[in-house]
Every structure is written in C-alpha cells, then in structure tokens.
Structure 1
Amino acid sequence: MIADTQISQTHIREAEALIRPYIRRTPVLRIDMTDFGRAPLPVALKLECLQHSGSFKARGAFTNLIGRPVPPAGVVAASGGNHGAAVAYAANRLGVPATIFVPSVTSPAKADRIRSYGAKLVIGGERYADALSASEIFVKETGALSIHAYDQAETLIGQGTLGLEIEQDLPEIDTLMVAVGGGGLIGGIAAWFTGLKRIIAVEPEGSPTLHMALDAGRPVDAPADGIAADSLAPKRVGALMFPFAQSYVDRSILVSDNEIKQAQVLLWDTIRIVAEPGGATAFAALLSGKYTPAPGEKVCVLICGANTTAVRFD
C-alpha cells in the first residue's frame, strides 16, 4: 500500500507500467471549434470515454487491485456508477469478487454495466454519501478491501497515469480542461504536471464541490444536484487531492445543465462522440464561452466518460 503522502511522478510512472497491459491508450481527436459554429480554435480532445468500462476510472481501479493485497472477501466500492463499473471490470479481469454500492440516482446504463461484469450491485441510499456509508458497514462485516472512488492514494496515482499519457501524446499543449467530481482525476493529473500546464477545473453549477472548497480553503460540503449528479456530485472533494488542486489548478469554472446538454448533443451530432453528462462537462465550458483561450493557446479537453443511454440505434 502506498502512503498518502507518496503521490508523485515516480509513483505514477510505476503504476502506469503495472496497469498498461490492462488499459487502453485512448486516442486524441484534433478538431476546430468552427465545426461547432464557434470562432476558429484548434482543440485536442482526449477521448478517455473510450477506455475500458467507459471512463478513466479503470486506471485507478487496476492500480488498487494490482497494488494492494485483496482478501478472500474481494473488493467493495461505493460509486455513482463509473467507479463501480471500473472496479467491477478490473475485478472481473483479475478474478476477484466485487460488491458495488450505488445510490438510487445512478443511471440504468451504469447499473447495467456494473452487473454485466459479474459484480453484485447494491442500492445504498439516495446519494453517493449514502452508498459510501453502506459500503463501509459492508467492509466491517466482511473484511472486503474498500476501493475509494477518489480519496485513496492508489486511486489518485492511477488517474494520474492519464496525465502522463496526455503529456506523451500532446507535449505542446498549454491548457488541460478537466471535469471534477470528487477530484481523483484532476488531483492525479495535477500531481503529474505539478504546474507545468494550466489545469482548468469544470463543474456543474448544481454541484460546485471543488469551487466551494477552493473558496473556503479546505474541502467543505456542497450541493449535489444537476444532470451530472451520478458522476460529479459527491458531498465534498477528497482530502488527498485538495493540496494538489490548491497548488496546481488554475481556476474552477461552473457550467449549467443546459450547457452540458448542448455539449453532449453537439459532440454526437458533429463528431459522433458519445459522452455522458459528466464526460461532456469540460467541453461545455469551452463551447459556452465560459472559458476563452488566449490567442495561440493550445487547449486539450478531456472527454472522460461515455456511460449513457442517450444514443439509440434503430
């Protein structure tokens, strides 16, 4: 097990080598915002929505399962959906029993995906915090290994491998735009870049978790509402990621549900990319003009999840 203070580039490199056989190197799509009816702006989209289990969460899940001893009771996770799907997928690949607690707001697409990987799915209340409490009781009763969605060193390190991959794929970028829920993704990415790139956090107006924490100077309870509540609405950001966010995140931008919906629709209509609400949130900030790059600024937007039933094929 990795000590909480040991979240560094060295640990991220080591984790990347361990999990590389189990994760996809996701592609980069280079677009121009004129395709979306906006002013000319070349943009790189990192399509982590094409990762195993439908989101970046597979990176943290494999880092936990490979890097920590797993008891006979297997693993347990609380999740809005994507983390649960990732843990279920990783457990299935590694032959480990998995129990996933989700809140009732979890989308049917995510619940179905969790079950498809052979995990036991348990509804643990109305919100993520309720599911987390239920999972903690389960750990005490069974001795299963708990894999936290964002406030666990191995989780941050695993998500940080995405920062490493982006740097290898796009060394020229100035700015990386990242959606935020509990902060495991942006915390891991910030731990990798340590200020060498401008990192912009993007959150829904209904769940401004990091936004409020940065204003308060510490993690605080925040509202948990909106279209992306199943992936971007924990009670508060993680304690482990917060120092990295304070030091290396340039700013937090809030977008509305309508702006997120528009980003989802245009990603599909224009370039045939399926993104769930949380997966489209960072792009919504660029599309809406909430973030306006400086002339010549090289921007990468992370499309981080695709677990949705919005697209139907007849």
Structure 2
Amino acid sequence: MNNRRGTSRRDMTLHIHTPYVQSQPYSRQLAKPVWLKMEAAQPSGSFKLRGIGALCEAQRSAGAQRFISSSGGNAGIAVAYCGRKLGVPVSVVVPESTPQRARDLIRQEGAGLVVHGAAWAEAHAFAQSLIGPGDAFVHPFDDPVIWHGHATLVDEMAAAGHKPGAILLAVGGGGLLCGVMEGLQRNGWSNVPVVAVETEGADCFARSIAQGKPVELATISSVATSLGAKRPCDGALEWAAHREIYNVVMSDAQAVKAALRFLDEHRVVVEPACGAALAALDCGHPALKAASSVAVVVCGGATVTAQQLHDLAARFD
C-alpha cells in the first residue's frame, strides 16, 4: 500500500501507478510511437490488482471476514495479496490447469488454496459453494467495482498526456476490456479505437461478437490459461454492442514468441496471454495501421518463468 507522507487513508490504494513509456523497438518497427502501459509492474504481477484491490477494499469496509475467490491464476494472486495487506483471510479455488507457479504464489501470500475442476468454470462453481456467513466473494473479472478499478490505468495514461491513436489489450473474461472502455469514456477518449486480442482456443469474445450472441467454449485449449474464461462477461458484450471493438485472434506460438521478444527487448517476463496483445502489433490490422500511435496494455502475469516460455517456444518449433 502506498505510504506517502501527507496522503490520507482514503487516497491510498492497493495498486501502484505504473510506468507509461514509449517502446523504441516497437516504435521503430511500426514507424510510429508505441506506448506501453506496464501493468506487469503491479505488486501482484498483473493489472488484476487494480480492480480486485478496489473490490476487496469495499468488501472489507462492509465487514467481510473472509475473501473467497475463483481464479485461473493472476486474480487469485491479487486477492491473496489484498487479503494479506488488509488482514483478511483468503481462500482461492483454482482449476487443475492453473500452473504450479501460480499455486505457489497464492500460498506464499498466506491464502488457502483449493484445486478443483478441469477449467475455471468448475473452480468458480465450487468456490461459490464455499461462501458462508461473513464471507465475501471476489469475482476475478465480472463486477462493476472491478471494472471501475481497472479504469484507473486509463486515468494514469490521460494524466501523462499521451493520448494514443489506438489501444491494444488482451481479453479473457472481459474485465480489463470493461475497465479500459470505462476509462476511455470518463477521460473523453471514446474515439480511441480498441483492438481486443485473444488466442486460438480461448477466443470466446471474438466468437461471441461474430455470432451476435454469447458463446461458451466447450474447452480451453490455449496455453494462455489466463484467458481461460469459457464465456465473456455480459459487460464486455454490452460495450461491444454500442462501441466498435476490433477482434484479433493470435496463435499460441505467436503469443509465446512475442512474450520472448518482450523479455529480450524490455527485460520483463510476461505470460502468453499478455504476449497475445504484443503479438498483435505485427498483425497488420487496419485500425492499427491507421492509428497515429498505439498503446499496449502490458497486462503482465506472474504465473510463468522465462524458462517456461523457452520450453513452450521449443515445443511449437
């Protein structure tokens, strides 16, 4: 938690202000400014801390005695971090697909961990069955309070004075997308095109937009397990109904390659889910070509190591 002298408790947040910096390698490649909103620098390792921190603060103020959450990894880490900082016990349910590293990080924050089900949907249902008196459920992405918290990353971009010509971000369940759309609207940036990126096998949002109705995937087959929601939240679909959001679907191999490139050029490890958004810089989408500049939400992800990225890349090769 920020401990700036002269700052009131009301102004403190569990998340931090993250760098918003221009990438020279990507700017040279695209021949235009490419800005990076470095959410990988959050204490929990991903953007999730913004919205989940806001929700945990609100629930603690309302008297919550325990936080219960379901997660594919990063949301659980964020809830566990918040619980430790706020002094509230935490129980997180993750599916079998959650990497061991994510499980270890959740436990290291002092939270209880339960592994249940093959995918997040099964873990989510089980987590809800555990809710008892005094417990507060922390959804990993589908809550207006979470979206409001995520929107602060756009507030910071606006305060920095660099309005992009387009924004690139990864989409799983749609929480980040909802937050960015809210942030664009409240900062008067509603004319900024948004390109939403998924990986093949975790592309429920793109399929839902294509079919004009919510689509639930039978399984998640992508290695980008942080994008592992089988169905997008209604809030994301509502935004898409009245604002044009461009969909891009990348392969797992492209996402991993982009994550490794980011490690080499920017010295930061990010998950394949984040790599998908970075990979889309090479996709040649018309909205990106037409933009005078591009901002990428480097959403981060703490559940992968550099060696694991290299191992994945070798498997695809």
Residues 156-195 of structure 1 aligned to structure 2 (within 5 Å)? 156-194=147-185, 195=190
| Superposed CA offset, 1:36-83 (max 9, x none) | 8x4533211111011120001111111112223555640100000000
SS, match of residue 293 in structure 1: helix
CA apart distance, 1:274: 1.1
Q: How does 1:183-222 map to 2 (within 5 A)?
A: 183-194=174-185, 195-222=190-217
What is residue 52 of structure 1 aligned with on the other side?
43
Decide which moves more: 158-167 or 200-209. 158-167
Distance in structure 1 (CA, Å) of the matches to 2:268 and 2:70: 28
TM-score using structure 1 length: 0.86
Counterpart of 1:122?
114
Q: Verify the 8 A CA contact 1:286 1:292 in the aligned structure 2.
A: no
Secondary structure in structure 1 of the residue aligned to 2:140: coil
Match of 2:305 in 1: 310
In 1, distance between residues paired with 2:286 and 2:123? 34
Cα offset, 1:151, TM superposition: 1.3
Residue of structure 2 aligned with 1:61, choices 52, 61, 80: 52
Contact kept in structure 2, 1:18 and 1:66, CA below 8 Å: no
SS of structure 1 residue aligned to 2:44: helix
1:1-314 aligned at under 5 Å gives the runs 20-33=12-25, 38-68=29-59, 69=61, 71=63, 73-139=65-131, 141=132, 143-194=134-185, 195-222=190-217, 223-229=219-225, 231-289=226-284, 293-294=288-289, 297-311=292-306
Tell me how many residue pairs correspond in the alignment: 293
Paired with 2:44 and 2:221, the residues of 1 have a C-alpha distance of 24
Question: CA contact under 8 A between 2:47 and 2:299: conserved in structure 1?
Answer: yes
Counterparts in 2 of 1:57 and 1:104: CA distance versus 1, 3 Å:
same
Shift, 1:286, TM fit: 0.7
Matched to 2:162, the amino acid is P
Look up the equivalent residue of 1:166 and give its one-letter code.
M
Change in Cα spacing, 1:52 to 1:111, as seen in structure 2 (3 Å) is same
Secondary structure, counterpart of 1:21 in structure 2: coil
Change (3 A) 1:215 1:127: same
Aligned AA (1:144) = D
Contact 1:48–1:304 (CA under 8 A) maintained in structure 2? yes
Q: Is the 8 A contact 1:35 1:270 kept in 2?
A: no
The gaps in structure 1 that reach 5 residues or longer are: 1-16
In structure 1, the residue corresponding to 2:234 is in which secondary structure? coil
For each residue in 1:161-212, what CA deviation from the matched residue of structure 2 results, as whole angstroms up to 9, or x when unmatched?
Answer: 2222222225321111010000001111112213231111000011111101
Q: 1:142 to 1:105 in 2, by over 3 A?
A: farther
169 and 249 in structure 1: CA distance in 2 versus 1, 3 angstrom threshold: farther
Structure 1's consecutive aligned runs of 4 or more residues displaced over 6 angstroms after TM superposition are: none
TM-score of the aligned structures, taking structure 2 as reference length: 0.86
